[in-house]
Amino acid sequence: MLARLQSLRESATVAHVLPLALFLSISALPAMLAVANPELPWHRQAPEHWIYPIQTLFIGAVLVFFGKHYTFRPWRGLSLAVLLAVVGIAVWIIPAWIYERNFTSPEAVPGWLAWLGVEERREGFNPDLLAAWPGWQTASVVMRFVRLVIIVPLAEELFWRGFLMRYVNAADRAWQSVPFGEHSWRTFIVVTSLVVVAHQPADYVAAVVWGSLVYYLAVRTRSLGACVTMHAVANLLLGLYVMQTRQWGFW
């Protein structure tokens, strides 16, 4: 068993792919386990409040386990990363902002606006369910932000930019030999398209913009650290927006 784990640890491909694969697999569990019954305790109604913290700690341990394979340097272009994070997350939340100020029901939204993602975003990870248990509520929110700002940016950028972007560019080369940020239009189309597919339909247009901005940052800075920074800042802003507006559907 230990020998198999050690062998697994030596694979750069596994190191870049496995964290996101495990993350997505665990993320599917709450929908499978939730029971829509307000008379049940919170851990049955909304299992994400205990599954997500466990997921955060587990994926964090996986990232540490494979840490020797990750290169975030050079740490440059961070100001650009922050600027693009603000632009990207603004594009992401504008459709819901339009909905909140102009519509009272999904049926009132014209089809073309619905296609752009204008819809209500109230259903999702709602910490109000834990209001009767303040300690658990605080812990749940804190771990939700750790997941949002640290684990998600690392797992996603290691896969999308650290692995897939280079793998598509590799051709007959080993993907590890491909310099980070090497550009080709084929790579842009493949990676950005898959980023879009990985999100829910309401976010498709925003995901095109977001994926394009992160791709641009990767090519411009040649820095995985800059891409992780952009993702982390954007997710932090999104989390703060969600807590302020209670549009739980964003996370």
- Nearest CA to 22 among 50, 56, 71, 68? 56
Q: Number of C-alpha atoms within 13 angstroms, CB side, residue 72? A: 16
Report in angstroms the alpha-carbon separations of 179 from 107, 148, 162, 221, 222: 49, 28, 10, 12, 8
- Nearest CA to 63 among 143, 153, 142, 3? 153
| Domain that residue 110 falls in | 71-250
- Nearest CA to 180 among 166, 200, 194, 195? 166
Q: What is the mean pLDDT of the chain?
A: 94
Tens-digit pLDDT profile for residues 81-120: 999 999 999 999 999 999 999 998 888 899 889 889 899 9
Q: Is position 8 within any domain?
A: no
Query: What is the CB neighbour count within 10 angstroms for residue 224?
Result: 23
Range picked from 36-50, 95-109, 183-197 for highest mean pLDDT: 183-197
CA distance 130 to 133: 5
Q: Is position 163 within any domain?
A: yes
Q: Is position 114 within any domain?
A: yes
Tens-digit pLDDT profile for residues 193-224: 999 999 988 899 999 999 999 999 999 999 99
pLDDT at 2: 76
Q: Is position 2 within any domain?
A: no
pLDDT of residue 14 exceeding 90, the answer is: yes
pLDDT at 104: 85
pLDDT at 46: 87
